[in-house]
Amino acid sequence: MIQILIFTLRVSQPYRVVGKEGEVPLRCNFSSNLTPEEMQVSLYKGLHGHEKICSAFVNLSEPYFTTDGTVNCRGNISFGRVDMIITGLGGNDTDIYRCEIEIRFPPPYLKTIGNGTVVYIQETPNCPTASTQSQSQSQSQTPEQEAFRIDVGPLPLLYAILIITFCSLVLQIVACKWRPSGSTAPMLSQKESYMKF
C-alpha cells in the first residue's frame, strides 16, 4: 500500500490593525504539517495588487529580520507566526496588506498568501498654533524685509523722543498763557460783566 503525504500551508491574518505615527504592528499566522527551516516572508499592498512592500529571507536558526527601503519591516518568526512592525507609512497608505509565506527548505517548496488585513494609519493633524504661526511668519520674511527691518535702526526711538519733546513744549506754552499774572483784575459787578458781553 502506497501512502501519499500531502503537505499544506495556510496563512491567516487579523481583519484590521491600526497604526500611529507611521508605525503598524502586523501578525501573520501560518500553519503547515512541515517544519520549516528557511522561509521567505513578503508583504504586499492591495487586495489583488502586486506592490511588494518588503520581503525578507529568514533562516529560522536566526528568526529576526529587518528590511530597508522607504517602508521598513522588522520582526521575527516563532511558533507558527510572523510578528512584524512596519514603519514609514502615512495616512495615504491605508489599504489591505497581505502576507505571503514561502517555505524554501526542507522540500517540498510551499507558498501561499494570506487573506489580507485592513491597515489603517492614523495621522496627527498639523494644526498650527500661535507659536508655530509666528515662527513660520518670521521665517517667511524675504531678505529685503529683513534688510529694511535692520536698516530702520534707531529712527522709531528718535521719532518718539521728538514727539514727546514737542508735546511737552506745547503744554508749557499753554500753561504759561493761562497762568494768572501778578496783578489782579478788577472785580466787576454782575451787572457790569453782563453788559460787557
Phi, psi of 65, rounded to the nearest 5 degrees: -145, 160
CB 112 within 8 Å of CB 105? no
Q: Could you report the per-residue pLDDT of 167-190, keeping only the tens digit for each? A: 888 888 877 777 666 555 555 555
Q: Could you report the per-residue pLDDT of 64-80, keeping only the tens digit for each? A: 999 988 889 999 998 89
Whole-model pTM above 0.75? no
Task: Sketch out the chain's domains with CATH numbers.
Answer: 9-122 (2.60.40.10)
* Placement of cell 512592525 in the chain: 85
Half-sphere exposure of 143 toward its Cβ, with a 13 Å CA cutoff? 0
